[in-house]
Chain A
Amino acid sequence: MKREKADLFPALLIGLMANVFLKGQTSYWVRPGVVTAPLSILLLAMVAYAFSCCWNTGTQGFLRWGFAALLAVGSALELLRLWQLFDCVYANSVGLLGVCFTVLVPVIYLRRVSSIAQTSNVVFWLLVGAAALLLVSVLDRLRVVNLQTVPLAGTTLQEALTGQLTLYPELLLPALWASSRSKKIDHPARLAVAVVGLDLAIHLLLELFFGAAMPGHDNPVHTAAQTGALSVFNRLEWLQLVLWSAAVSVKLALYLYAAVRLVGGRTGTTENNAVGLDRFPLYFVVMLLLCVGMRKMDLGRTLVWHNLACWTFAGLVIGKGVVEWVLSKQRFAR
């Protein structure tokens, strides 16, 4: 009844779900994916945990700004990805500015931490329901024999590992607000399991549906959703699109909150805001400029670069943390 301390874990989960559902293309086959999944989970969890530990040992201004920049670019990429999906599915119906407007306006109402937390609770369960609906609607068209018996060779395993080792910013964000040691371990582990597990499950669904044609499809989850039918209700993919847009809004609100924490934005004291209302015009302008500037880029390649940037950034922070730890040990020894 009384609103408890806001838990942003569902918001992080939503961000990861949006990443998986909106992926432009599949990146590996299920068989090698199952083999590499435990290793991927372990690596991601370890990196996230190490980042979380090293982040709190006195982070400098340029690292904060770097993280904020990563989040800003990530937000713009999400908007562009959603726009491309809409443009592909409903050509010429809504422009980039329209998508930006409809996704960014709800962020105003998600400026409080408690609002993000509670809204993400609702959106999370709606996404789970929609995913179940998607599964039930295409169940008829899933064939076990569509699973590809690819050999577990070096290339396929490498592809699977590369596809699974995507360091999403959601895995690094708990470092900003995890206070206790147990949360520092718990959140990254759960998030790593969630993202790799969900990614694998979606790949499985898609392979059962598309068979050998899986790698060649753009927006494969949406294409599969298009065939879904439940009783007299056909073409339920619009429901998925609505929820995915909602998930992106929540994700962007979380990124904005994290960015404000990083670069120290002014918060309103009377309304317990996480982000002050006066920051929004700047936020909208920055997002619009980034989207307009990046819209001509190859989105797939840009996402790969963004992933590399996240890995580099995490490596930098962890490296700095390790160096500081070694130095502190030496000082202590003297």
Chain B
Amino acid sequence: MRGCKLSAQLQRNIKFLKSIFGQSSDFYTKPMCLSGIDCCVALFTGISSPEKLSVMALDSFCRDGVPVRSGPALAEYLLKESCIAAESNPITEIDQLVEMLCNGMAVLLIEGSESAVAFSTQDMPQRSVSTPAGEGDIRGPQEAFTELLRNNVSLIRRQFRTSTLVAEIHTAHTRAGTEYCICYDKTRAPAETVQAVKKKLDSIRIPLLLDSSYFASFLKQDKLNLFPAGAYTERPATACARLCEGKIVILVSGSPNAMVVPSFFAEHFESLDDYASGAVFSGMIRLLRYLAFALSVFGPGLYVMAVSFAPEVIPVQLLAKLAQAERTTPLPPMLEMLAVTLLLEIVREAGLRSPKSISHTVSLVGALIIGETAVSAGIVSIPILTMAAAATVATLAVPSLYEQSILFRFFVILLAGLFGIPGIACGAVVILAMACGSEPFGFDYLYPLMPPGRATWQDGFVRSIWSQLAKKGEVIGGDEA
């Protein structure tokens, strides 16, 4: 089928289409006659609107008539001369025809012409633009991406109203032929990075592409590295901000999450509110997020290390209480911490996956069972539960690194419980080496945090005032562009 040309015989084309799609009840064909020339409209009724087609083209045909006498002339007229809003490129190949139909276009097949004409009559049921569910920001635009690719592109273009925005739509090599869009600012994004991303994405062969994160594994340089290859956002505003930094935004049809590459470690600790609030407050909150991440990853491990190997770290008044609490529970501190952390994750997962009608019950049961009953029964101790809960809450301060926090936390608890201080050191160096060793498209993953420089204090650990930021905003391609 690949590379096969359309036949000049209308019936042959219709027969071919019916042989592929005939079993689908949403496949619609309507033979008709335009200026005495036999034609046929083909579309999928679920994703294309016959009414739109009527309004766009057919009514005009019937009203004004078409001053041609042959099929090829009709095709030529529709493509180049008519005011009717047809696609400007003719369809000449079978797989192109199939692609257009699957993308919701209506296609007009013409007797005697080896070209077909497509009309953009997409009318898919879609979710309206709503507020982002996964990113909590108080200020700034409250729009979120939807599942429709072209809607998402338009949302970006609404914010980014310059001629420098490029949005290239490609089809991924998947069974479903899913489309994706690469957006970048052609004056800011480094050309070699754009080319590298395009080449990489084009080389990916996967059976299914339901979200932009499916690309992540292919974009990662080191498969042993657990840090994400890209950052994700539901907000067009955030995507625009990243475009202004010279980054590339990848949108996938059917997914409301845009992927931003190359992504840096510091981005996970930034939010839109940082730039809307004052510099001092934003700086404090950003430092708090770094602290929260450190607490969520190392807090439980440090606790296990302290009680098991180095109790001298703990103030003596607290130590006596911890010893009393430990005496009442059956498990050693490491296992207890792992069990409580695991339980908290189970409760979180259950709350996430359960139907909305019973998610409240899940939360109640989880809180009662773990918070109240397990402690009263002496299965877990209050200090361990407190530390695990604090770490879990701290994880939510940096939601984009949630998966990494959980994995690292388990890893550090295990190492600290088995090896003590060298275990903590091992965990810390491994995590640091993962972050330092990451090179997304040749850029430093720890930029601008390390090595310390002007950018570290301008928009890294803290943020300087807008008048300073506006003087020289950091662009990843600033040296090369």
Contacts and interface: CB of A to CB of B under 8 A. Distances in A.
A90 B309 contact: yes
Interface in A93-109: 93-94, 98-99, 101-103, 105-106, 108-109
Contacts, number: 124
Interface stretch (B130-138, B268-276, B433-441): B433-441
B439 A241 contact: no
A86 B309 CA distance: 11
Interface stretch (B149-157, B250-258, B353-361, B416-424): B416-424
B447 A1 contact: yes
Contacts of A110: 429, 433, 437
A90 to B, nearest CB: 6
A271 B222 CA distance: 7
B349 interface: no
A102 B419 contact: yes
B67 interface: no
Interface of B: 221-222, 224-225, 305, 309-310, 312-313, 315, 415, 418-426, 428-430, 432-434, 436-437, 439, 442-444, 446-448, 450-452, 474, 476, 478-480
Contacts of A94: 309, 419-420, 422-423
Interface stretch (A36-44, A113-121, A205-213): A113-121
Contact of B315 (A102, A109, A232, A241): A232
Contacts of B444: 1-3, 118
B437 A109 contact: yes
**Chain A: number of interface residues, binned into ranges:** 35 or more
Nearest to B449: A122
B313 A119 contact: no
A122 B450 contact: yes
Interface stretch (A170-178, A243-251, A285-293, A318-326): A243-251
Given A235-B313, A238-B310, A250-B429, A125 B420 contact: no
A120 to B, nearest CB: 9
A118 B436 contact: yes
A46 interface: no
Given A2-B480, A99-B419, A125-B452, 10 more contacts: A3-B439, A98-B418, A101-B426, A102-B423, A115-B433, A119-B432, A123-B432, A238-B310, A245-B429, A271-B221
Contact of B422 (A99, A114, A235): A99
B27 to A, nearest CB: 45
A123 B431 CA distance: 12
Contacts of B313: 235, 238
B443 A105 contact: no
Contacts of B437: 109-110, 112, 114-115, 118-119
A145 interface: no
A103 B422 contact: yes
Nearest to A4: B444
Nearest to B451: A121
Interface string A11-40: 000000000000000000000000000000
A31 B422 CA distance: 36
Nearest to B480: A2
Q: Which 3 A-B pairs rank lowest in CB-CB distance, beginning with the nearest?
A: A115-B437, A245-B425, A109-B433
A123 B444 CA distance: 16
Contacts of A115: 433, 436-437
Contacts of A123: 429, 432
B479 A102 contact: no
Given A98-B422, A102-B415, A109 B434 contact: yes
A154 B3 CA distance: 92
